[in-house]
Amino acid sequence: KSVADGETEGMTKVLIGKENGEILGVHMMNSTAIDSINEATSFMELEGTIEEMVSMVHPHPATSESVWDAALVAYDTFKRGKK
């Protein structure tokens, strides 16, 4: 959705704990961060894990999809570290 709106600059990064995959923080640098920050803060407040975040349904196309995309990258990194 952001690309369709002409917003091609920005990034989202999910920081997770190495032991259990707990969401420790989320960095968002884009013009639509205000629309998706609530998902990140909810996971942090409830001590949610990266596995829980990637298992949630995220609408497409939507600007909040950047959180899910970043979570998929973090999940892949977490799983590789567990091997």
Would you name the residues annotated as active-site residues? 60
| Beta bridge partners of residue 16, listed in sequence order | 23
- What DSSP character marks residue 3? T
- Cα(35)–Cα(13) distance, rounded to whole angstroms? 15
